[in-house]
Amino acid sequence: MRGAKWAYLSSVINACLQIAVTAILARLLVPAAFGLVTMAGLVLRFGQYFAQMGVGQALVQRRVLDPEHVSAGLWASVSVGVMFSASIWVVAPLAAAMFHSAELTMVLRVMGLTFAIGGTSTVASAMLRRNMRFRAVALSDITAYVVGYAGVGVFMALSGSGVWSLVAAALSQALIASIAYNILARPRLVPVLRWQPYRDVLGFGSTVSLISFLEFLNSSLDTIVVGRFSGSASLGYYNKALSLTGLPMQYMSTSLSSVLLPSFSRVQSDTARLRKAYVTVMTVFAGIGLPIAFGMSAASREIVDVLLGPQWAASVPVMRLVALASAASMLSHFGGVILEATAHLGDKLVIRLVQLAVFACLLLGLSRFGLVGYALAFTISEVLLQGVLGTRVGSLFGVPFRDNLDTYSSGLLCGVCVWPLLYVESLLGAYWALPSWAILLVQAASGAVLLAFVGLRIGSGRLFWAVHERIDGSSNSRFVDGSIRLAAWTSGNSLDASSSGASSDSRGDERP
């Protein structure tokens, strides 16, 4: 919980800083400068999946970590990072020719140095995460962004450096983060001359990199198809719908997953603890994420109108579908984390390969329905992925099939109730010609009330108890006591019965 607190705090602070700094830089630089950096980022993204060879994940996941593994990981990541920086220097002119931008060559070559800098921080960052020092990671990340972008970037932009202010900001951020990580973690610097530690680290890490690349292909295949066959305008509508629904779920899942990987890895040999932790995480995030996804689907018209404007109305039918896919994607992410933490990479690799093939067939078969068809293909693919991953995790760690299904019950039931409620509010608001922002406020409020009520009622408050058992009662006793009273009142039980249920839960017993 402490690790998750700092991970989420870092994400929120960095997001706020990015909004503020972007607003400043957008007024100091021309759009072409951002366009050049975006082009360079697209090229660098392909290399990012292999530039670190999954070394960080390998060090975090290992049950027993020897000093030689740390040293092998450090020198391997530095070597691969330098190699990729050199490769970017060579291919930069080809990328510039592809984008028809001569200026991109030097921008890409300089930004390619982030691979070499990143190689020096991979092991130190992994050691901090393995040791659950997420406070140190959060403060390092925040400091690096402030110095890099709010400091170097803004200063150079004020000095008239144009696109190089963005390039220098990116390099400065990577360098400051690397220095901070290494000062805090102090990894072993002595080179190891035996091949076995390198094999241990790179054998696991290379498979992680391959899986990450397959995930990238799965997340990009529909974008490529829509852009190729439907044009740039349709791609714009499609991508906006994806980003509006995907970002909330991404912020919910990625910060926690950075904590879950070392947490699950620590207890990878204790199947009972893994099983309980996985069921708790899935219950909480399905109970919250599914209603939010159903709510975004029902309120798509208002969300698009308020955030993007009426000219983006073509995104609404796409958003109604992909909102549901975003929740499935978030939940499958947790299944992937537990497979990675327990070194079941073969299962994860096969599942991702099958998903890629199924997704391609769905895109081909549903393409005649246009944007809605592509969105439906994406949604079906993500729901199937979560179903397969959930079943496989349940089989590996002994989660009974009914318990596996029960993790979704609160969220699904609440989502099924939220969707028609918010959709009727949308229809009534349109009928009465109310402004979209007013309708959206009503939808958000009514959805939140329904989520809270259902979360406390369904399965004797399964969602509530899943959250409650992760809270330290001694430091949050006032919150816990009040929550117990609320849960008892909503479920119609006596206060004493609810209190005894909480006590039973804290000992690890089954609650009725």
Written as one letter, the residue type at 246 is G
What count of Cα atoms within 13 Å lies in the side-chain half-sphere of residue 373? 15
Q: What is the pLDDT of residue 359?
A: 93
pLDDT at 358 over 70: yes
Poorest-pLDDT segment among 5-14, 83-92, 127-136, 279-288: 5-14
pLDDT at 192 over 90: no
CA distance 84 to 110: 12
Written as one letter, the residue type at 269 is S
Residues 6+ apart with CB under 8 A from 339: 345, 347, 348, 389, 392, 393, 396
Portion of the chain with pLDDT greater than 90, in percent: 26
Number of H helices, E strands in the chain: 20, 0
Q: What does the pLDDT look like over 273-310, one tens digit per residue?
A: 888 888 888 888 888 889 999 999 999 999 989 888 88
Poorest-pLDDT segment among 159-168, 239-248, 420-429: 239-248
CA distance 22 to 272: 46
Poorest-pLDDT segment among 215-219, 275-279, 321-325: 215-219
Mean pLDDT (whole number) for 381-399: 91
Of these ranges, 28-42, 101-115, 204-218, the one predicted with the greatest mean pLDDT is 101-115
Mean pLDDT (whole number) for 245-250: 81
Confidence of residue 232 (pLDDT cuts 50, 70, 90): low
Mean pLDDT (whole number) for 183-194: 82
Q: Which comes out higher in pLDDT, residue 283 or 50?
A: 283
Q: What does the pLDDT look like over 250-269, one tens digit per residue?
A: 777 777 777 888 888 888 88
Triad 173, 175, 179: Cα angle to 5°: 120
Mean pLDDT (whole number) for 169-193: 88
C-alpha pair distances (Å), 497 with each of 410, 456, 502:
22, 15, 9
Q: Which comes out higher in pLDDT, residue 31 or 486?
A: 31
Poorest-pLDDT segment among 394-398, 403-407, 494-498: 494-498
Q: What is the pLDDT of residue 462?
A: 58
Strand (E) or helix (H) holding 162: none
Coil, strand or helix at 398: coil
Mean pLDDT (whole number) for 168-192: 88
* End-to-end Cα separation, the chain, in angstroms: 26
Coil, strand or helix at 474: coil
Q: Which comes out higher in pLDDT, residue 210 or 478?
A: 210
pLDDT at 381 over 60: yes
Residues 6+ apart with CB under 8 A from 6: 134, 135, 137, 138
Q: What is the pLDDT of residue 476?
A: 43
What interhelical angle do 163-185 and 31-51 show, nearest 10? 40
Rg (CA), the chain: 24
Q: What does the pLDDT look like over 459-507, one tens digit per residue?
A: 555 566 655 555 444 344 443 444 444 444 434 444 343 333 333 333 3
Q: What is the pLDDT of residue 267?
A: 82
Q: What is the pLDDT of residue 499?
A: 36
Poorest-pLDDT segment among 8-17, 155-164, 474-483: 474-483
**Spatial contact of 294 and 415, defined as CB atoms under 8 Å apart:** yes
SS (H, E, C) 406-472: HHHHHHHHHHHHHHHHHHHHHHHHHHCCCCHHHHHHHHHHHHHHHHHHHHHHHHHCHHHHHHHCCCC
